[in-house]
Structure 1
Amino acid sequence: MPPNNDSQSTHLLTTHELDALSKLFDVKKKQLVCNNAQCSTSAICRHGTTKNTSPPQPQFRCTNCTTVYTAHQMQQLLSHLNVPPQHHTGTITPTLPPHDANMNLEATTQPFTDFITHVMNELKTQRERLDQHDMMYAEIQHLKADLQTANDHIVDLEDTNRQR
């Protein structure tokens, strides 16, 4: 599975997934083999982060051929190792299973649950903003009516003043 630029390689990991990836990388980094066809080293190290994403995503690099792996690609590489990723913490690490493997329901529901939680929080935030905008719109309508009343009163006073 060489690194690629498809939509999966730009998938952003959640903070929970990044924590799990960091722990798993520390445990298994000596077992990793670069997937570049011209390279077969096992010297892959951390190589900074992408700061223009939220949360920032770590990058990894082969020290031999300088192939750079995204956090998502590293997560996939680690998920393909023979030793199950859950042995270290006793919980299942949320990794993407290989396409030909049976899907582990617990491993795939956590990212979905995180996504739904994020969507629900975003909807709540949007609802609060919409309610605030509705209140401001009602106040603007009220102020417009008051302004029209004041302008009408000014016109009446000017007419009265002219008649004197």
Structure 2
Amino acid sequence: MKAWQTASRMLNDSDDADDVASETMLRLWAVHDTLHDETHAVRLAVVVARHTAIDHQRRRRPSVSIDSGTRVIPLDIPTTNTPDRKMEWEESEQWLRQRIEQLPPREMQVLRLRQTERRTNAEIAALLGIGEASVATMLSAVRRKLFNDIKERNRQ
């Protein structure tokens, strides 16, 4: 019930909330032996539902696309398109493109397959001849690295 409530609040769609709640319950069942008590299970259900709902939203509405030439194309450009904002977007695009180009070739390839070609982890693993868990780990590491770079840039 808590998983569905969390997903429903985040997604504003009962069908999507049902899907997220079902996926959450499947994930909890996989770890049911490690749950301490009902309170622990409920808290974990809320966290898993929140993260699953976020994943669901990301799959439906990408915010940035990376084409085969590693060009970053923002898809949610702000409506106020002043010359200053346009210049900021161009600088940000160039900065992010440089960070992506500095990635090791395998990481850049995995990121491109996932973000541009919208491939699943299983498809990427089959294409590259690596394990699905390796793809997930690599994507997580690349995203974390880029996110930390962005946070560091924003602090300056």
Q: Same fold (TM over 0.5)?
A: no
TM-score in terms of structure 2 length: 0.23
**Which is richer in strand?**
1
TM-score in terms of structure 1 length: 0.22
**Which is richer in helix?**
2
